[in-house]
A and B are shown apart, each in its own frame.
Chain A
Amino acid sequence: MIRNRISNRSRGRIFKHSGLHVFLWIFCLSVLYGSLELSAQAPAADSLGYTVVIKVVDANSGEPVEAAQAKTLLFEAAGTSDQDGVMSIVATVPYDVVEVRAFGYNRVEVPLQGRSEVFVELYPDFFSAQVGEEEGLLANFRKSQNPASSVKLDAFKHGAYLSADEFIHGYAGGEVRSLRRSGVSGLGSAMFLRGYNSIHRNSQPLILVDGVPINSAYDEVSLHKGYFGNRLADLSAYDIESINVIKEGSPIYGGKGANGIIDIRTKRGKSMVTKIEVNAFAGISEVGGREIPVMDGDAYRIYVSDQLVSAGRDPSDLAELAFLNDDPGNLEYRRYHNATDWNDEVYRSGFIQSYNINVDGGDEQAFYAFSLGYTGEDGVVRNTDMQRLNTRFNADINLRDGLDLAMNVAFTTVDRNLLDDGVAESSSPSYLASIKAPFLNPYTYTLGGTETSVLEDYDLFGISNPNALIELALNTNKHYRFNVGVEPKARLSEHFVLSNYFDYSLDKSKETYYSPVKGVAPILFPGNDDYSENFFRGQVIRNVGLYNDARLQFNDVVNGEHILAGRMGVRYLMNNYRVEYGEGHNSKTDQVRNLINELEYRRVKGDNADSRYLSGYFTFDYNYANRYFVSLSAAADASSRYGADTEGAFDFLGSSWGVFPGVNAAWVASSESFFPKSKLLNQLKVRAGYNITGNDDLDPYASFTYLVSQRYMDRGNGLVLGGIGNSGLKWERTASSNVGLDLSLFNNRLTMSADWYNKATDDLLVLKEYPQVLGKGHYWVNDGSLSNTGAEVALNLKVLNLTRLWWEVGASVGHYKNEIVGLPNGRFTTSLLGAELLSEEGSAAGVFYGYKSLGVIQNDAALIQQPLKTPHVTTGEDVFFLPGDVLFEDLDENNVIDEADRQIIGDPNPDFFGSFNTLLGYGNFTLEALFNFSYGNDIYNHHRRSLESGNDFRNQSEALLYRWKSEGQQTTQPRAVFGDPAGNARFSDRWIEDGSFLRLKTITLSYRVPVKTQMLESFDVWISGNNLWTLTDYLGRDPEVSAGNGVLYQGIDTGLLPGNRGIVGGIKLNL
Chain B
Amino acid sequence: MKWLNRVFVLFGVLGLMLSSCEDMLEADYNGVIAEEDYHLNSPNDSIYSMLGIVKALEALGERYVVLGEVRGELLELTPNASEDIRQISNFEPAPDNRYADVRDYYAVINRCNLFVERLDTSIVAQGQKVMQKEFAAAKAIRAWTYLQLLLNHGEAHYYENALVSVLDAEEVESKSRMNLEEVLPLLIADLETVRDIPLPGSLELGEDVVDSRKLLLPVRFVLGDLYLYNGDYEKAAQAYYDLMYNDFLLLTDEYRLQLEVVDLAFTDYFSSSWNQAFRPINNETELVSFIAGSVAYGSSNGLDSLFRLDYELKPSEVALDYWDTQTYYHSQALSRQGDLRRYGSFSVNTFYLGSLANSETRWVNRKYTQTENTWAVPIYRVGLLYLRYAEAVNRAGKPNLAFAVLKNGVSAAELNNNSIIPEQEKIPLAPYMDFTRDRFNVFSATSEINTRGVHSRGSGNVHNIVSYVIASEPDWTLQDSILYVEDLIVTELALETAFEGNRFHDLMRVAKRRNDPAYLASKVASRAGAESLRLQGLLMDEKNWYLPY
Contact = CB atoms under 8 A, between A and B. Distances in A.
B294 interface: yes
22 contacts: A308-B356, A313-B357, A527-B295, A552-B10, A570-B18, A572-B24, A608-B28, A610-B27, A610-B29, A655-B25, A705-B35, A708-B31, A710-B52, A721-B107, A721-B110, A721-B111, A722-B32, A726-B166, A772-B157, A774-B163, A775-B110, A876-B82
A707 B6 contact: no
Interface in B281-323: 292-302, 304-305, 308-309
A706 B164 CA distance: 9
Nearest to B48: A719
Given A653-B25, A707-B38, A714 B206 contact: yes
Contact of A717 (B51, B164, B170, B209): B51
B86 interface: yes
A876 B50 CA distance: 40
A968 interface: no
A714 B208 contact: yes
A871 B49 CA distance: 44
A525 B297 contact: yes
Contacts of B233: none
Interface in B146-184: 157, 159, 163-166, 169-170, 172-173
B523 interface: no
Nearest to A307: B356
A1029 B16 CA distance: 61
Contact of B31 (A492, A601, A608): A608
Measured as residues with beta carbon below 8 angstroms from the partner, the interface class of chain B is 35 or more
A39 interface: no
A445 to B, nearest CB: 21
Interface centre among B31, B83, B203 (most CB of A within 10 A): B31
Interface stretch (B98-106, B340-348, B489-497): B98-106
B55 A528 contact: no
Given A705-B164, A876-B83, A312 B54 contact: no
Nearest to A529: B309
Contacts of A711: 294, 296
A707 B52 contact: yes
Given A713-B373, A714-B294, A770 B55 contact: no
B205 A713 contact: yes
Given A706-B35, A707-B33, A527 B302 contact: yes
Nearest to A701: B32
Shortest 7 CB-CB distances between A and B: which pairs? A527-B300, A775-B107, A876-B83, A718-B51, A715-B206, A492-B3, A718-B55
A875 interface: yes
B518 interface: no
A591 interface: no
B80 interface: yes
A264 B80 CA distance: 60
A779 interface: yes
Given A585-B297, A705-B35, A773 B110 contact: yes
Given A614-B25, A727-B165, A498 B172 contact: no
A638 B308 CA distance: 55
A720 B300 contact: no
Interface of B: 2-3, 6-7, 10, 13-14, 17-18, 21-22, 24-35, 38, 48-56, 58, 79-83, 86, 101-104, 106-111, 114, 157, 159, 163-166, 169-170, 172-173, 203-209, 212, 292-302, 304-305, 308-309, 355-357, 373-374
A513 B24 CA distance: 37
Nearest to A705: B35
Contacts of B56: 718, 720, 775
A717 B205 CA distance: 10
Given A528-B301, A552-B10, A773-B109, 12 more contacts: A313-B356, A529-B309, A638-B21, A638-B25, A705-B164, A706-B34, A712-B205, A713-B293, A713-B294, A771-B170, A772-B106, A875-B81
A322 to B, nearest CB: 12
A361 interface: no
Contacts of B106: 772-775
Interface centre among A528, A603, A773 (most CB of B within 10 A): A773
Measured as residues with beta carbon below 8 angstroms from the partner, the interface class of chain A is 35 or more
A543 to B, nearest CB: 14
A875 B165 contact: no
A653 B20 CA distance: 9
A705 B22 contact: no
A874 interface: yes
Given A715-B205, A718-B55, A726-B166, A526 B48 contact: no
Interface centre among A700, A713, A776 (most CB of B within 10 A): A713
A687 B24 CA distance: 38
Given A527-B305, A585-B297, A874-B82, A612 B26 contact: yes
B126 to A, nearest CB: 24
B169 A774 contact: yes
B49 A719 contact: yes
Given A705-B35, A719-B51, A776 B82 contact: no
B164 to A, nearest CB: 5
A752 interface: no
Nearest to A721: B111
A724 B164 contact: yes
A611 B203 CA distance: 38
Contact of B297 (A532, A609, A774): A532
Contacts of B102: 772
Interface string A568-592: 0010101010000001010000000
B172 A773 contact: yes
Given A492-B7, A653-B21, A771 B169 contact: yes
A718 B14 CA distance: 44
B54 A606 contact: no
Interface string A555-571: 00000000000000010
B27 A719 contact: no
A779 B168 CA distance: 14
Contact of A718 (B21, B52, B86, B173): B52
Interface centre among A496, A532, A776 (most CB of B within 10 A): A776
Contact of A875 (B52, B80, B208): B80
A101 to B, nearest CB: 34
B297 A311 contact: no
Contacts of A638: 21, 25
Contact of A654 (B22, B31, B373, B374): B22
A822 B318 CA distance: 56
B7 A496 contact: yes
A640 interface: yes
A515 interface: no
Contacts of B3: 492-493, 496
A460 interface: yes
A710 B55 contact: yes
A720 B52 contact: yes
B30 to A, nearest CB: 4
A241 to B, nearest CB: 29
Contact of A707 (B30, B35, B309): B35
Interface string A594-630: 0000000101001111111110000000000000000
Given A603-B297, A717-B51, A610 B28 contact: yes
A722 B34 CA distance: 10
Interface centre among B81, B164, B373 (most CB of A within 10 A): B164
A779 B170 CA distance: 14
B208 A713 contact: yes
A726 B165 CA distance: 7
A775 B104 contact: yes
A442 B532 CA distance: 59
Contacts of A710: 52, 55
Nearest to A720: B52
Nearest to A656: B25
Nearest to B50: A718
A721 B117 CA distance: 14
A712 B51 contact: yes
A490 interface: yes
Nearest to B207: A714
